[in-house]
Structure 1
Amino acid sequence: MPPRPLVLLALSFCLSPGSAAASPWTAARDALARLFSAAETCELGGEVVGGRVEPGTRAVVVPTRKKAWEASRGGEEAAKPYIKARLAGWPERLLADREALPRTDAEFVARLARDTWRGLEAFTDREHHLPVDNVRLAEASGGREDARVGDYTNVTSIGLRLITIVAARELGLVSEREAVARVRALLDTLGPLETHRGFLFNYYDTTSLERTSNFISFVDSSWLTAGLMVVRTTFPELRDECTRLIERGDYRFFYDARRQRMSHGYWVHLAARSQFHYGMLYAESRLGSLIAIGKGDVPEEHWFRMIRTFPPACRWQSLRPQGRERKTVRGHPLVGGWYEWKGERYVPSWGGSMFEALMPTLVLDEAHHAPLSLGANDAAHVAVQRRYALEELGYPVWGLSPSSTPGNDGYGEYGVRLLGSLGYGVGAVTPHAVALALGVAPAEAAGELRQLAALYDVYGEYGFYDAVDPRSGRVAHAYLALDQAMTFIAAANYLRDDCIRRRFAADPIAARALAVIGEERFFD
């Protein structure tokens, strides 16, 4: 049985941010933390961001060399054409010919993969081989002059760039020699980048290679590790360099041994870990947790200390959990449970977005390795996403996940609220969410991608734009490196028998981690 409300209140206080300082209550707090899983607290502050901003986190890192480079060209505005000229390519037209798009699922996904790869190649810095974060085209013209380029990159985008090169080789879009050359050039760029404790900072300027962030991100770092794992199982000549980069960072750096959770990251200018933790199991961070366990950096008990569902006393959550019983898996105690909607049972994510649910499945075949837990949950999330959009919202299409906002330069966190513990709001549909579902419900997802292209002007020369609002038909004419890479990798898995998932599973880190996830049953 869950603890009574009084115990919940006590545990919530004991585990709240800022309570970790030494005090007469320290021993009692630590005893409570071990006696009761942290999953049994309603305290949000220590587990998720929840919209809060940590002190000092908005401190800006000014890239001084980049500013000098811009000044030498007449200032920031005058330098923009030079930044665009650094890109490897540019689209010639805003929209593809809708009538020329293939009408069968496999042919359409193959066309999507080719077009998306061309965009991933084009929007890469020629000199440093890094993907730029985003390119936003003018709705009226689509021309280079009116476009805006986000000339910075993120650690996740770097990791996914490595994986997309392997995927392009699997699809025959580049030769093995070309793929190795691309990876080697990117690894050469990573060498001189500023790091901390063996980890890259979260953002870098693609022109000057200066870090533009004070933050070392756990989940983003894990995607770079995943990319290096895929590369070293594919190209033997790059194995040693990838291994060196993997081993220089120890994920214990992010691990809170008292909570047995991973911190969001580390603020270098504050010399402190983030006060927030990845507390929920069903989140995009679960891949990082498995990598940390597979490397031997953190104990496997960490996996079983993450929240499956919050207790019913947490009245802020979107649905009341069912089946919350204590159980033991691989000798580790945990509290299970699920939500249920229209006959679909599922363990919730935080926001109810497809990104949280399915991004790890780009490299991790959860249906195969964890069929009665994560695999079943992936299928349920896709089913609810689809049914909720069609039945409740009246949308003709589905796929809710964080994306650009059609009609302005914004970015929104979209999802199905009842799929999340707290849940994001509804809004735009983003093609990357549908592409992610190719690995879970291939027929439904492939058909939905064709439906998106048929109903809306959302397919450009480089594949799908980032989002469409089904209520107005407005399109966000933006290419985001993260979303395009996810789309491409998902398409490669669909077309080539889970090629990236198989490469990832062949790595010894993955082999050690996969044993952790196979025994749990979410819905027993």
Structure 2
Amino acid sequence: MRRLLAPLLALTLTLTGGSVAAAAPAAERSRSGPAADRALLGYARDTWRSMVAMTDPHTGLVADSITGDLAAGGRSGYTSPTNIGGYLWAAVAAQRLGIISRPEARARIAQTLDTLARLKHHTPSGMYYNWYDPRDGSVLTVWPDDGNTVYPFLSSVDNGWLAAGLRVVEGAVPELRGQADAILRTMNFGFYYNPAASTAYGVKGLLAGGFWDAAPSGCSQQRDGVWFTCNHYDITVTEPRMATYLGIAAGQIPPEAYYHTMRTLPPTCDYSWQEMRPVGFDTTYQGVPVFEGAYRYRGIQFVPSWGGDMFEALMPDLFVPEARWAPNSWGRNHPATVAAQIEHGMNDAGYGYWGFSPASDPAGGYRAWGVDAMGMDTDGYPSDAEGSKYDAGFDGCRPAGPAPTYGDGVVTPHAAFLALPYAKGPVVDDLARLKANFDSYGPGGFYDAVAVRSGTVAKRYLSLDQAMIMGALGNELGNDVIRRAFVSPQFEHRIRPIIARETFNVPANQFLPQLGRGDL
């Protein structure tokens, strides 16, 4: 493992972004003051412009992406449940921030709900297909970009984000509550739950990745009249936990299923293919054995995601106040995740910028970006265009590999926005420098990805990434509007006690005094 190059004090100063008044000049303190909020609001206005440009005016369905000039002809010919849900919560955020009026928000959301209610879907489960044509709402069976066959699929993750958007509408737009609920109450996340699926620890009961309602070409498992994926989600720090939260809150999934997923893989040589040997302890919650494993990267201890990206770790936190409800688990892990991302970009890789998450590839297409050292997959998501690999080895089982030489780092602005609750000063600074130093900002806000050494920019907008930005800014500038709308009394009653009782193997106050704002 590479040695910790920067002393802890230097890292602390980087993370505070001048938030400790006694130690920072006024210019540094302004990063978290009115000037910072004005800059963030400007980003929100431009980001919303891209959402409007991506939305078909006849259906109210937002396209998956659009070219950087926001021309209607640059819209993609496909959309997904995630994109549709993202448009719903983005409209709520835009209204709360004063970017659009309440009547406009209501009209836009109502149009989308009207179309959504008419879309073909899997009636027994209430779940929606992964790809629709945004122009008419038809299910795609041929991919518009290349003509390849599409086998209509229904994803647990994507339907989770659609349901999140519907819940936000229920909580924020009373006039449309009944319309949103009519769709939401038919969605049964228990349909994805497989009580026989087990983890490496032998714990049973996991969510499937999704299903097809007709036999697909690849691996599948027939059950309940459909063909489920052979894979199941077995990692805790990943975005499928949103679907688990929703299923538990609705009484469709047993509450103890929250503990079924793994914090890390086992610390044995049988699993030495994972990024590093985890450190941890064994415990039990609600009768479920749990190994509270964690990774250490450059002096920072955290529970890893699969690929080491911000999306997996922090997107559910846009809706569920995880850090406040679970101070000993998510309240420790979210700041540590942000700290490690900053440490990677600023010090270890030396890019001078940070924020890594799946997004567009500046060289073309789409790619999963992350911090390889922060993901369980030893071939995890790279932070640079060259795909540099970090290999800490696995003590006693696998020797460490050579130290990586990082190349053209690819920073994804939406990842920095997700960190706003935990490092507002560094976020504002990072975004300001990205905007000033690269051709990274267009009519719809920040372009999707920036290769910071070559200066190559992916000049397009992805609706999911833009929706994450809108959600983060809605919470930051709009008094937690997305979280407040999403969380109902029943949801809090069923979810908060479950996540509150756990303690991750992440040191208390490791970074919270430096990163926290006192309102978590």
Query: TM-score category by the smaller chain?
Result: 0.7 to 0.9
| Equivalent in 515, 518, 522 of residue 497 of structure 2 | 515
**Overall identity of the aligned pairs, in %:** 39
Amino acid aligned to 1:171 = L
Partner of 2:131: 203
Report what 1:220 is aligned to. 158
1:103/1:501 CA distance change after superposition, 3 Å = closer
Which residue type is aligned with residue 231 of structure 2? F
Which structure ranks higher in relative contact order (CA pairs < 8 Å, sequence separation ≥ 6)?
A: 2
Match of 2:65 among 106, 111, 134: 134
- Match in the other structure for 2:210: 265
- 1:255-297 Cα shifts (integer Å, max 9, x gaps): 0111200000011222311111111000011111111110100
Name the SS of the counterpart of 1:203 in structure 2.
coil
Q: Return the letter of the residue paired with 2:414.
A: H
SS of 1:205 mapped into structure 2: coil
Cα gap change, 1:143 to 1:417, in 2 (>3 Å): closer
CA distance in 2 between partners of 1:129 and 1:143 (Å):
16
Which residue in the other structure is 2:453 paired with? 471
2:298 paired residue number: 342
Residue 510 of structure 1 deviates from its aligned partner by: 4.5
Name the amino acid aligned to 1:108: A
Query: Which sections of structure 2, spanning at least 5 residues, go unmatched?
Result: 1-32, 141-150, 198-204, 216-225, 385-409, 507-520
Q: 1:103: how far off? A: 10
Residue of structure 2 in register with 1:97 after alignment:
none
Q: CA deviation at 1:144?
A: 4.4
Q: In the TM superposition, what whole-angstrom CA distance separates every residue of 1:80-131 from its partner, at most 9, and x where no partner exists?
A: xxxxxxxxxxxxxxxxxxxxxx993211101000111111112210100111
Report the alpha carbon displacement of residue 367 of structure 1 after superposing the two structures with TM: 1.4
SS at match of 1:468: strand
Q: Secondary structure at the match of 1:439?
A: coil
Deviations 1:126-154 (A, max 9, x none): 100111111124xxxx5849x64312111
* Equivalent position of 1:177 in the other structure: 103
Select which of 270, 273, 278 maps to 1:316.
Answer: 273
Give how far 1:210 is off: 0.9
Which residue in the other structure is 1:372 paired with?
328
Structure 1: distance between partners of 2:97 and 2:34: 20
TM-score using structure 2 length: 0.77
Name which of structure 1's ranges 239-248 and 392-401 shifts more when overlaid on structure 2: 239-248
- Structure 1 runs (4+) deviating above 4 angstroms are 142-145
Relative distance call for 1:143 and 1:201 in structure 2 (3 A) is closer
Question: What letter corresponds to residue 209 of structure 1 in structure 2?
Answer: G
TM-score for the superposition, normalised by structure 1:
0.77
Q: 2:436 aligns with which of 454, 476, 484?
A: 454
C-alpha separation in 1, matches of 2:440 and 2:414? 12
- 1:3 is aligned to none
Inter-partner Cα distance in structure 2 for 1:143 and 1:342? 41
Of residues 506-515 and 241-250 in structure 1, the stretch that sits farther from structure 2 once superposed is 506-515
Counterpart mapping for 1:339-418 below 5 A: 339-408=295-364, 410-418=365-373
Q: Give the deviation of 1:418 after TM superposition.
A: 1.2
CA distance in 2, matches of 1:193, 1:452: 40
More moved, 234-243 vs 270-279: 234-243
For residues 143 and 481 of structure 1, do their structure 2 counterparts lie closer, same or farther at Cα, with a shift above 3 Å needed? closer
Paired residues of 1:347 and 1:377 also in contact (CA < 8 A):
yes
Q: For residues 413-432 of structure 1, what are the structure 2 equivalents within 5 Å? A: 413-422=368-377, 423-427=380-384, 428-432=410-414
Among candidates 93, 96, 102, match of residue 167 of structure 1: 93
Rounded to whole Å, the distance in 2 between the matches of 1:116 and 1:148 is 16
How far the C-alpha of 1:514 sits from its partner, in A, is 2.2
The secondary structure found in structure 2 opposite 1:209 is coil
The question of whether the paired residues in 2 share the 8 Å contact of 1:300 and 1:516 is answered with yes
Higher deviation after alignment, 341-350 or 511-520: 511-520
Return the alpha-carbon distance in structure 2 between the equivalents of residues 368 and 130 of structure 1. Answer: 34
Q: Distance in 2 between matches of 1:163 and 1:133?
A: 15
Q: Which amino acid aligns with 2:468?
A: M
SS at match of 2:132: strand
Give the distance between the partners of 2:496 and 2:342, measured in 1 at CA: 29
What is the deviation of 1:420? 0.6
1:238 to 176, 182, 191: 176
* Structure 1 gap ranges (5+): 1-101
SS of equivalent residue, structure 2 residue 79: strand
2:50 pairs with 1:119: yes
The one-letter code sitting in structure 1 at the alignment partner of 2:312 is E
- Secondary structure of the 1:152 match is coil
Query: What one-letter code is carried by the residue in structure 2 that aligns with 1:378?
Result: H
CA RMSD of aligned residues (A): 1.7
1:328 aligns with: 284
Aligned-pair CA distance for 1:377: 0.8
